[in-house]
Structure 1
Amino acid sequence: MLRLDLAPEFRLLKIETNSAGKKRQVDACGSRRDRVKPASERSAGAPDRAASRGALGIRSSPRTVRSYSDSAAIIERMFSLAMNDTAADLLGVLGGLAAGEPPGGLAPSLREHAAQGLSRRGELLTWASSVGNTAGTPSFFNDLTAWECSDSSLHLEDFVPVDVTTVDGAPVISDDGQRMLLMQGVAFALEFSRLVYVLDPPSPVRCIVGANETNATFRFHQIRSGESWNMPDLDKYGLDKMVVADITPAVT
């Protein structure tokens, strides 16, 4: 399993992988105080850091700092990505974060869906357009987390044009199609995080993106103690490429 910890500006803080019993950790960050100087203030020949960022604002070659803990101490909010090995291999993120960026950026239909915003309904967090019945929740669901995941779930292939063939009456999506849907799902989670960071009162939220040869989904839920929709070890999902994003707003 691979984990990426990002600052709110989506700059890389830490990469952790645990595959085949081997753990690899890379610490890298530019602090929030390390702002990008305008061209008028940069010395001749100095690189433009903003130009080194991809469509998601992630630096492909982050600057190494002395200590991850020192850098993390000044971060007020966090965006963490975890994915199983099959998702990491399909996206090719170990070769550089830019490899996981969708060509052309986030699909317009997904950006439009995110623009509706979020709504609080009692203890529940939903899309603003949700018509889910919150009366008596969690009802037949195990908990509020399961209710939110069911209500917020959407199929990425309904928003992103990919080739879906039919074999023996079942849909089939190629590896290239799954890769595109995963990339769009991660980009959508980054766009979605902007909605979470302005929640009042603040609440940590988890996004779950999954893709297999038949479909790809995105769903979210508030992070609650003792509740989880996904298995902690994402590598236990043998047929699905899984990406989990934890969005933690600042708490004042």
Structure 2
Amino acid sequence: MLTIRMNEAAASALQPLALADPTSAVPVVSQALRDKLAQGLTYNEGALTFAEHVGQWVAAPTSASAAIAEMGWQDLTGYECNVNAFHLEDYAPVPVAINDDGRPQIRYEDQIMLLRLGLVVADGLFDLIQALPEPVPVRCVINANDTAATFRFHQIRSGEDWVNLELDRYQVDMLVAIDRHP
């Protein structure tokens, strides 16, 4: 079962493009992003992560339980969301300007493209999940705003959440949450 939720900002941003020309709205997936997905997934003490991300947190211990304790993450869901997070703009040909105050700036049209790229990544992740010996329910969280666009995922666990599912509370970001239950 697939459930897609988005806040009003994301719904407004995504709808006009799909209605205008759905084929032009599909972003190109870079080789680096295809490589990330091709490396697959791995488990660490019950936490599911991108294999490419193993060891990326230099300051965090390699064991999930030790990383949770040392980094202050609340639970396995927090661990997965932090370890699995990456910036979509690092994998897309979008210009990121730097303002006078040092803040990155992404044009609105590029934010929408990055949001769409996140949807493509979620689809690729779901293929990886389905290929596991025992597929698990997962949630992908994609957000885009004027400074960054982030993709992250976690297993769906009772009593653990990364994002408030009242998505319209997020007023600055365009936010999409996609749940996939095998």
Q: TM-score, normalised by structure 2?
A: 0.86
CA distance in 1 between counterparts of 2:47 and 2:33 reads 22
Tell me what 2:47 maps to: 124
CA shift digits 1:172-201 (9 cap, x unpaired): 101011011001111111111100112222
Residues 1:172 and 2:105 aligned together: yes
Pairs within 5 Å for 1:146-225: 146-167=78-99, 168-225=101-158
The one-letter code matched in structure 2 to 1:143 is: D
CA distance in 2 between counterparts of 1:206 and 1:138 reads 19
1:245 to 1:178, Cα distance in 2 relative to 1, 3 A: same
CA shift digits 1:81-122 (9 cap, x unpaired): 21111011111267379278324x433332221111001122
Q: Which has a greater percent of helix?
A: 2
Structure with the bigger RCO (C-alpha within 8 Å, sep 6+) is 2
Contact 1:203 1:248 (C-alpha < 8 Å) held by counterparts: yes
- RMSD, aligned CA: 1.9
CA distance in 2 between counterparts of 1:123 and 1:96 reads 43
Structure 1, unmatched stretches of 5+, are 1-77
Number of equivalences? 171
More displaced 10-residue stretch of structure 1: 127-136 or 168-177: 127-136
Secondary structure in 2 aligned to 1:92? helix
Tell me what 2:160 maps to: 227
Secondary structure in 2 aligned to 1:169? coil
Contact 2:45 2:65 (C-alpha < 8 Å) held by counterparts: no
Q: Percent identity?
A: 40
Tell me what 2:66 maps to: 136
Tell me what 2:14 maps to: 91
Tell me what 1:39 maps to: none
Secondary structure in 1 aligned to 2:114? helix
The one-letter code matched in structure 2 to 1:144 is: L
Q: TM-score, normalised by structure 1?
A: 0.63
Which structure's CA Rg is the greater one? 1
CA distance in 2 between counterparts of 1:92 and 1:99 reads 13
